[in-house]
Amino acid sequence: MNGFDWNAAGDVLPLVLRGFEVTLLATVLGTLVAAVLGLAVAVAGRAPSRFVTVPVRAVMEFIRSTPLLVQLVGAAAFFTSVEPLTIGIVVLGIHYAAYTSEVYRAGIDGVPKGQWEACRALSLSPRRTWQAVVLPQAVRKVLPALGNYAISMFKETPFLAVITVQEMVFEARRYGADHFAYTEAFTLAGLVFLVASYPTSLLMRKLEKRLGH
């Protein structure tokens, strides 16, 4: 070890940035899956029938109580013919849906009873009640919390390297192994994470303030 090799750092940067594109793609699509699926789960959790709510709750509890890493490796082992990135996105999305659904649930619970009653008094259909009244109010309130989950997901994407998704840490590790320059490779990868997630966190905090939390 003779200090930080700036040449190696220069070499690894394009690789890390190429990996960053994959990381970003996985985060954006994974967040999308988590946002949509979480919402569906939260609404299903309010279904009048126990045949819907009980299994949904059980599955979510199972997902929350097993590690993401195990879920990733398990899914990759099971769906061998599916591309690793696709598996990564779907598993990240489902894993985080277990958390975002709770966030949505809190948002939905926070909509005052009077809003539901006004909907009933106007004979609104359940569909319009959700679509026009309850969800717009609930989602607005939980937007910052959802944003924070997106940032967490971003920071957990390195797990995808384990199932051979060529995201940022995968690239860094490969370069590090080939050139024996782990320090440089991982330092750069870490810096890219920092540069990307810190401003996003600040943005979320701003959003939180603007929405009056």
Partner 1 sequence: MATEPLPLQKTAAAAPEDAAGTDALVRFDRVVKRYGDHVVLDELDFSVRRGEHVTLIGPSGSGKTTILRLLMTLEKVSGGVIWVDGAPLSHVRTPDGGLKPAGEKHLREARKKIGMVFQQFNLFPNMKVLQNITEAPISVLGMDRDEAESRARELLDLVGLAGKIDAHPSQLSGGQQQRVAIARALAMRPEILLLDEVTSALDPELVAGVLDLLSDIARTTDITMLCVTHEMNFARDVSEKVLMFDAGRVVEAGPPEKIFTAPEHERTRDFLDAVL
Tracing tokens 């008094």 back to the chain, one arrives at 121
Report, in Å, the least distance between residue 123 CB and partner 1. Answer: 5
Measured from the CB atom, is 64 or 120 closer to partner 1? 120
Measured from the CB atom, is 82 or 118 closer to partner 1? 118
The DSSP letter of residue 48 is: S
Of 160, 183, 187, the C-alpha closest to 87 is 160
Report, in Å, the least distance between residue 5 CB and partner 1. Answer: 56
The DSSP letter of residue 167 is: -
Measured from the CB atom, is 25 or 106 closer to partner 1? 106
Piece of the chain touching partner 1 by CB under 8 A; list 49-57, 126-134, 161-169, 203-211: 126-134
Report, in Å, the least distance between residue 127 CB and partner 1. Answer: 9
Please give the residues from 85 up to 124 whose contact with partner 1 meets the rule CB under 8 A: 112, 114-115, 117-118, 120-124
Q: Out of 53, 137, 164, 187, which residue is the one contacting partner 1 (CB under 8 A)?
A: 137
Tracing tokens 């299994």 back to the chain, one arrives at 55
Measured from the CB atom, is 128 or 209 closer to partner 1? 128
Report, in Å, the least distance between residue 128 CB and partner 1. Answer: 5
Measured from the CB atom, is 125 or 152 closer to partner 1? 125
C-alpha atoms less than 13 angstroms from C-alpha of 167 in its C-beta half-sphere? 26
Cα-based distances in Å from 8 to 13, 23, 85, 184, 185: 9, 22, 27, 7, 8
Please give the residues from 171 up to 200 whose contact with partner 1 meets the rule CB under 8 A: none
Cα-based distances in Å from 143 to 46, 204, 212: 20, 9, 12
Q: Which helix (H) or strand (E) holds 174?
A: helix 168-179
